[in-house]
Chains A and B, each alone.
Chain A
Amino acid sequence: MNTTDLIDAVKTRFPDAVTASHDFRGDATVILQRHAVLEVAQFLKDEPVLAMNLLVDLSVVDYSTFGEQASRAFFASSGVPLKPSPLIEDEAPWPGPPEGGRFAVVYHFYSTGHKHRLRLVVPVEEGVDDLDSVTTLWPVADWLEREAWDMFGVSFRGHPNLKRILMYEGFEGHPLRKDYPVNKRQPLIGPLN
Chain B
Amino acid sequence: MDATTTQAGGSANLETRDMMLNIGPAHPAMHGIIRVVAKLDGEQIEAADVDIGYLHRGFEKMSENVDFNGVMPYTDRLNYVSPLINNVGYCMAVEKLIGLQVPERCHYIRVIVSEISRITDHLTCVGAAAMELGAFTVFLYMIKAREYLWELVEKVTGARLTVSYCRIGGVKADLPDEFAGPCAEAFKETRKVIAEAHSLLTRNRIFVDRMEGTGVISQEDAIAYGITGPFLRSTGSEYDVRKDCPYAVYDQIDFDVAVGSKGDNMDRYLVRMEEMEQSMRIVEAAFEQMPGGPVLVNPETGRPISASEMVDLAKLGDIDAVAGGCAVTGPTLDGAGRDEHSSIATDEKRAFLPPKEDTYGNIEGLMRQFKLVMHGHGVRPPVGEAYFPVEGANGELGFYVVSDGAGYAYRVRVRGPCFAIMTALSKLLVGGSLADMTPTFGSVNMIGGELDR
On A, residues with C-beta under 8 Å from B are 24-25, 27, 29, 53-57, 59, 61-62, 66-67, 69, 71-75, 78-85, 87-88, 93-94, 96, 106, 108, 112, 115, 117, 119, 138-140, 142-144, 151, 164-168, 175-176, 180, 182
Q: CB < 8 Å: which of B61, B379, B387, B452 contacts A82?
A: B379
Q: CB < 8 Å: which of B100, B239, B380 contacts A80?
A: B380
Say whether A119 contacts B382, CB under 8 Å: no
Stretch at the interface among B50-58, B146-154, B327-335: B50-58
Measured in the bound complex, the distance between the Cα atoms of B419 and A55 in whole Å is 13
Say whether A78 contacts B376, CB under 8 Å: yes
Measured in the bound complex, the distance between the Cα atoms of B404 and A168 in whole Å is 31
> Which residues of chain A are within 8 angstroms of B385 by Cβ–Cβ distance?
24, 27, 29, 94
On B, residues with C-beta under 8 Å from A are 52-53, 56, 58, 60-62, 64-65, 96-101, 223-226, 228, 237, 239, 244-245, 346, 348, 350-351, 371, 374-387, 389, 396, 398, 400, 402, 404-408, 410-411, 413, 415, 419-420, 422-424, 427, 452-453
Measured in the bound complex, the distance between the Cα atoms of B400 and A108 in whole Å is 10
Nearest CB in chain B to that of A27: its residue: B387
Which of A27, A93, A96 has the most chain B CB within a 10 Å cutoff? A27
Which of A81, A106, A117, A138 has the most chain B CB within a 10 Å cutoff? A81
> Which residues of chain B are within 8 angstroms of A115 by Cβ–Cβ distance?
244-245
> Which residues of chain B are within 8 angstroms of A75 by Cβ–Cβ distance?
376
Q: Whole-angstrom distance from the CB of B444 to the nearest CB of chain A? A: 14
Q: CB < 8 Å: which of A61, A66, A80, A176 contacts B61?
A: A176
Say whether A57 contacts B378, CB under 8 Å: no
Q: Whole-angstrom distance from the CB of B99 to the nearest CB of chain A? A: 3
Say whether B404 contacts A140, CB under 8 Å: no
> Could you list 17 A-B pairs, sorted by A, with CB under 8 Å?
A24-B386, A25-B386, A54-B239, A72-B375, A78-B376, A78-B377, A79-B378, A80-B350, A82-B348, A83-B382, A117-B387, A140-B225, A144-B226, A164-B53, A167-B56, A175-B61, A182-B65
Nearest CB in chain B to that of A81: its residue: B380
Say whether B452 contacts A108, CB under 8 Å: no
Say whether A72 contacts B376, CB under 8 Å: yes
Say whether A57 contacts B413, CB under 8 Å: yes
Given contacts A72-B375, A78-B377, A166-B452, contact A94 B382 (CB under 8 A): yes
Measured in the bound complex, the distance between the Cα atoms of B51 and A164 in whole Å is 10
Q: How many A-B contacts at CB < 8 Å in the complex?
A: 161
> Which residues of chain B are within 8 angstroms of A106 by Cβ–Cβ distance?
400, 413
> Which residues of chain B are within 8 angstroms of A53 by Cβ–Cβ distance?
223-224
> Which residues of chain A are within 8 angstroms of B350 by Cβ–Cβ distance?
80, 82
Say whether B408 contacts A168, CB under 8 Å: no
Q: CB < 8 Å: which of B64, B408, B413 contacts A59?
A: B413
> Which residues of chain A are within 8 angstroms of B379 by Cβ–Cβ distance?
82
Q: CB < 8 Å: which of B99, B225, B415, B424 contacts A85?
A: B99
9 tightest Cβ-Cβ pairs between the two chains A and B: A73-B376, A84-B99, A140-B226, A94-B384, A166-B53, A57-B415, A72-B376, A59-B413, A166-B56
Measured in the bound complex, the distance between the Cα atoms of B97 and A28 in whole Å is 14
Say whether B351 contacts A56, CB under 8 Å: no
Q: Whole-angstrom distance from the CB of A184 to the nearest CB of chain B? A: 10
Given contacts A82-B380, A175-B58, contact A25 B96 (CB under 8 A): yes
Measured in the bound complex, the distance between the Cα atoms of B378 and A187 in whole Å is 35
Q: CB < 8 Å: which of B62, B226, B406 contacts A138?
A: B226
Nearest CB in chain B to that of A165: its residue: B53
Nearest CB in chain A to that of B351: its residue: A82
Q: Whole-angstrom distance from the CB of A91 to the nearest CB of chain B? A: 9
Given contacts A56-B389, A140-B225, contact A88 B101 (CB under 8 A): yes
Which of A25, A117, A151, A175 has the most chain B CB within a 10 Å cutoff? A25
Say whether A119 contacts B408, CB under 8 Å: no
Measured in the bound complex, the distance between the Cα atoms of B103 and A85 in whole Å is 12
Measured in the bound complex, the distance between the Cα atoms of B380 and A109 in whole Å is 28
Say whether A25 contacts B97, CB under 8 Å: yes
Q: Whole-angstrom distance from the CB of A132 to the nearest CB of chain B? A: 17
Measured in the bound complex, the distance between the Cα atoms of B304 and A25 in whole Å is 41
> Which residues of chain B are within 8 angstroms of A139 by Cβ–Cβ distance?
224-225, 423-424, 427
Measured in the bound complex, the distance between the Cα atoms of B381 and A88 in whole Å is 15
Measured in the bound complex, the distance between the Cα atoms of B53 and A66 in whole Å is 28
Say whether B423 contacts A56, CB under 8 Å: no
Say whether B53 contacts A93, CB under 8 Å: no
Which of B228, B376, B386 has the most chain A CB within a 10 Å cutoff? B376
Measured in the bound complex, the distance between the Cα atoms of B351 and A73 in whole Å is 17
Measured in the bound complex, the distance between the Cα atoms of B211 and A8 in whole Å is 47
Nearest CB in chain A to that of B95: its residue: A85
Measured in the bound complex, the distance between the Cα atoms of B52 and A15 in whole Å is 40
Say whether B376 contacts A143, CB under 8 Å: no
Q: CB < 8 Å: which of B377, B398, B411 contacts A56?
A: B398
> Which residues of chain B are within 8 angstroms of A87 by Cβ–Cβ distance?
101
Say whether A142 contacts B53, CB under 8 Å: no
Measured in the bound complex, the distance between the Cα atoms of B419 and A88 in whole Å is 34
Known: A61-B402, A175-B58. 15 other contacts (CB 8 A): A24-B384, A25-B97, A69-B408, A73-B376, A73-B407, A78-B377, A80-B350, A82-B100, A82-B351, A84-B382, A143-B419, A143-B422, A144-B226, A180-B61, A182-B61
